[in-house]
Structures are given as structure tokens and as C-alpha cells.
Structure 1
């Protein structure tokens, strides 16, 4: 029997789906007071040493994340950690990745993130800010707008987020070019180009979305030269990490009229300080890194864990398994 640690709120959601695994799992839950207990009896557990952990926002955004972390990495028996997130570069996740024999991620949040991208594109194309300003002023003035249909999208980093976004754009009649190292057509793109061709593609795009991981190679990739290559009425969006964008270069480019607007769900410093000019720039739409924060994302992460749990006990390959070398 394996000791499996989850947050109490997570357990409340997934408990009905654990039927049939009672003889294989000893479920340990942590509540919002940082107290650990056996889910089956309510008995307090003073020193949890889990072999399986499902790490969700319930724990990592809760009041006792440090307590949860210490149980995860301090038990010394961690065989498999299932993350509800896709990224692995957070220092806490790197620490867990080094402690776990197996580490798996979740990619279902890409569906919510792709809807964020469509929302921002439609708001820009349909003059959302102008319409809202006119409503506030009581002005009845029709505005000519653009459509997704016929628009050209350049999606830099064509993983799960890029593919999910591309499928939606193509369904609405848009044209999608994905930027990816591995070539060959993938779902959600009309064509795939190598990163070496990215700068040549920028002048043709009505929308540019970056969603690559943050690495030394991608840090600051969206810089003055990048923005200078874009169209004056193009929309720039970042769903990756704040460090991908040189933010002073972006604001200078917007001030110069090229590109036309930017939508950012991430920033180089989070939470963003009150005095950061990104807050008030008239050509920037900013959201607080909450593009994946939907009920569907929560359920999707639970689905991934339950599927991998059955794979784990059946001796089958786990989905979204990360190579240990990624945490070196």
C-alpha cells in the first residue's frame, strides 16, 4: 500500500474516483490549517512520508504551502509527484523534481489559456476598449472592426498551448504558422517553421503569440528588433513567462506605434509592483497570470492524476513524464 498525499480540498473532489484503489492507497490529506490526517479515519499524521503526491493549487496557493513542501521533499520516500502545472522551472518544483523518482506534469490548462488568447484577440480586433469608453461616455458611434477570419497568426512555441490556440483560430477561419524546432505538420497549424525563420515571419503576422518555456536561449527573445519586425496594427501576446519579453523595449515599441497593442498574462516580476509602468500603459492589457485559472483546468488536472494513478499501479508508462536531467 502506497502513502499518497493530497490537499484536503483536492481529496474532496477526487475521492469518488478512487474507488477500487482502497487496498493500494493510504490517502493522507493536509487541510488549510497545515494539519495532516488519514483520509479514511481522520487520525492525525505527525510526520507524513508520502510515496505519491498530487500537487495542486489547493496546496501551493494555500496558507500552508511551506508545510506541504516540507512533507513532500522531507519524507525521503517520494516515488512519484504529479504536478497540476505544466511548467517545471519554479524553484520549489525543481526541488521536488530532484527529490522524486518520477515527476509528471499536466497540460490540460492549455485549453483555458487558448481561450484567453482568443479573448484578447477578439477584444483588440473588435475595439473593446473604445466600445467600453463610448458606453461610459454615452456615445453611439459605430466602429469598423476586424475578424479572426482571414487573420494571420504566428505562434512561437508550438506545444500544447500553441496547438490548442491554433485549433481554435483555424476553426474561426484564421491562418496559423507555428514556430517549433521539430518539423512536420501538427494539429492546429497550417504550417510549421523552424525558430531560425521566426524573424522573417513576424512582418506577415496580425497576431504574434509567444508561449515557449523560459530558458537561457529564450530569455529576452521579444526585444527591440523583434517588435520592429512586427506590423504596426499587429497584436503581441505573451502566455509563456515574463522573462521572455524585454519589457522596456516593448513599451518603447508600443509608444512608437509598432506593434499596435500587447496583451500580457505574465510579467518579469510577479506580483507586479504597483509602480511598474505596465499597469498604466494605454496599449497594454494585463492579467495577473490567471489565464489557466478556470474550473475546467482544475478538473482537467484531476483527470490527468487519476489516469496516471491507474497507469502507475498497472505498470504502464506515465503521461507527461519529465526526464530527471531537466532538474539537474
Structure 2
């Protein structure tokens, strides 16, 4: 299968990736693309068998139709975990894999960094420093508190493991409820209405699917404790923006950290920027030094399987979205 194999690598920086690719498979034909437009052109002219693609440029339309069209590759390796930008595809023609798990540990650290920002009262400590004042601040431990993880995929499971190190009680949801390490109670997503009010910290890390779009709505915020902390590292569209903005404006919960948005980059006139007790980050919870090369290593391991005719790891079901 390797004879005449054509591979496209699509990322903003590709030098190290291309070097690793040629080292692992020196006989293949490869092309680097550094924009969505270049990728679309390459599909028509180069006609790759395999495309490794990182969705790094949201300012240009992603060439979904070209990737999944007649000239598109037989295998698309998504450099991240989310595949909602591809929509649906014909699995008889196109195989899609992702890099699920490559950033789960980092995302779990990010979740707790955000939670600790509020439980340790970092904003007021910073203000005290700026004011050169010395009031005694009462910090709040995570030990004994309840964490609700909405989505027990690899990221959710990494969050659960770290939660146990803090001594938390862990609740979680997944599409097919079954026991999960470090999780005290595993529920179906349909149980969320009765779970929101039990949680002191809520981590949202589900993929964007028809079943999860708008999952965290006004009713969810209304059910949360006024002392709750929400951290969203899922995908834009899982949380209803109007509901989040309303809840934070009214002070319905203690704090929230939003790493993902329906429109990215977040427009300068978005109400999110002015919300109180809110952290805003540019979809960076999974971005750490070396993540792209770690993801590419996963691709290279899968490429060996592809060349050997073996089944690939991390194949995505377009109906499930993961």
C-alpha cells in the first residue's frame, strides 16, 4: 500500500513534521500546506491518499467539501480531537482518525488551574497586591467538594484522576454509562438536570454533536449552586451563549472559565469580555509546547499501520462524533 503513497501535511509550521515523516517513510511523496487555501489546491492537484490536518486557521473556510469529495484522500488524520468541522462523511470512502488523548493531561491541568483561580480567590489577592493592602483572605479547599464532569472521554477521565488527588467526590456522564476509574458515580447525559445542583465544580468536555449542542442552557445554569464554578473546555456551541452571559451578569454562579466559543476568535464587541468573575482564554487548553509533534507521532504510528494494512487507531464514527 506504500507504493506511490501521497501524503499532505497541513499545519502552520511543518518543517519538523516533514522531517519526521521522511525519516519514518522515505519512499512516499509528501507535500506541506500552510493554509486552508493551499490544502484545497493540493487536493485537486496532488490528489493525496492521506491528509494529516490541524485546524489552525479559523479566519478562512475549511475545505471540507474538497477533503470529502471525489478527489479527497482515503484517510484524513485530524491533528486534534474534535472533528465537528468535517460534519458527516461516507465511511466506505473516507476513514477519519483523530488525536484524542494527546492533550488530555494538559487540559486536565488547565481545568484545575481555572478552578483554583476561584477557590484560592486569586483575583482579590491580585487586587490586594495592587493596592498594597493586607486583608486576611479565606481560601476554599477542593477536598470534600463534588466535581461534575460532563463527558467522560479521555480528557474527562484525566480530570477525574486529578480530582481524586484533591480528595473530591466525582460525578460524570457518558453516552453509555459504565464504571470509570476515579469516578464515584457514572450517569447518562439525561441525568444532568438532577446533577447540576449537586456540583461545586463543573467541567464540560464533551464533543460538539447534535446531542450536545446547547446542552448547557438556561435551565442548567438555573439549577447550579450559586457557589458553583464552571470550566468549559468542550467546543463552542455546547454552552448556550445567551444563557452563559445572562448567568454571569446576574451572578448566578461563583465563577466561570470559557476556553471555547461559537465564534472564534471571540469578537472584540462580545459581551463575554465584560462579564464579572469570568476567565476568557483563546481555545488554548490543549495547546502546550510540543503538542503538535506529539500528535504527529500518533499519526506516524498510524501511518505504519496503514502501510501494513492493519486497522487504524482512533477511528472516528461520524454518527457519534468520536
**TM-score interval, smaller chain:** 0.7 to 0.9
Alignment correspondent of 2:33: 30
Structure 2 gaps, min length 5: none
1:13 maps to 17
Measured after TM superposition, the shift of residue 72 of structure 1 is 4.8
Match of 1:40 in 2: none
Partner of 1:105: 98
From 129, 135, 140, the equivalent of 1:146 is: 140
Higher relative contact order (CA 8 A, sep 6+): 2
The two structures have a TM-score, normalised by structure 2, of 0.85
1:61 matched residue in structure 2: 57
Task: Report the counterpart of residue 273 of structure 1 in structure 2.
Answer: 267
User: How far off its partner does 1:129 sit?
Assistant: 0.7
Residue 197 of structure 1 aligns to a residue whose secondary structure is helix
Please give the residue correspondences for 1:87-126 in structure 2 after superposition, counting only pairs within 5 Å. 87-90=82-85, 93-94=86-87, 101-107=94-100, 108-126=102-120
Q: Across the two proteins, how many residue pairs are aligned to each other?
A: 314
Change (3 A) 1:95 1:29: farther
Q: Is the 8 A contact 1:150 1:173 kept in 2?
A: yes
Q: Retained in 1: the 8 A contact 2:147–2:168?
A: yes
How far the C-alpha of 1:317 sits from its partner, in A, is: 1.4
Q: 1:48 aligned to 46, 49, 68, which one?
A: 46
List alignment gaps of at least 5 residues for structure 1: 37-43
Asked if 1 retains the 8 angstrom alpha-carbon contact of 2:35 and 2:57, the reply is no
Q: Aligned-residue CA RMSD in angstroms?
A: 3.1
Task: Say if 1:227 and 1:50 are closer, same or farther in 2 by CA, change over 3 A.
Answer: same
1:310 lines up with 2:304 in the alignment: yes
3-state SS of 2:293 partner? helix
SS, match of residue 243 in structure 1: coil
Q: Secondary structure at the match of 1:209?
A: strand
- Structure-1 residue corresponding to 2:201: 207
TM-score (norm 1): 0.84
Q: 1:26 to 1:153 in 2, by over 3 A?
A: same
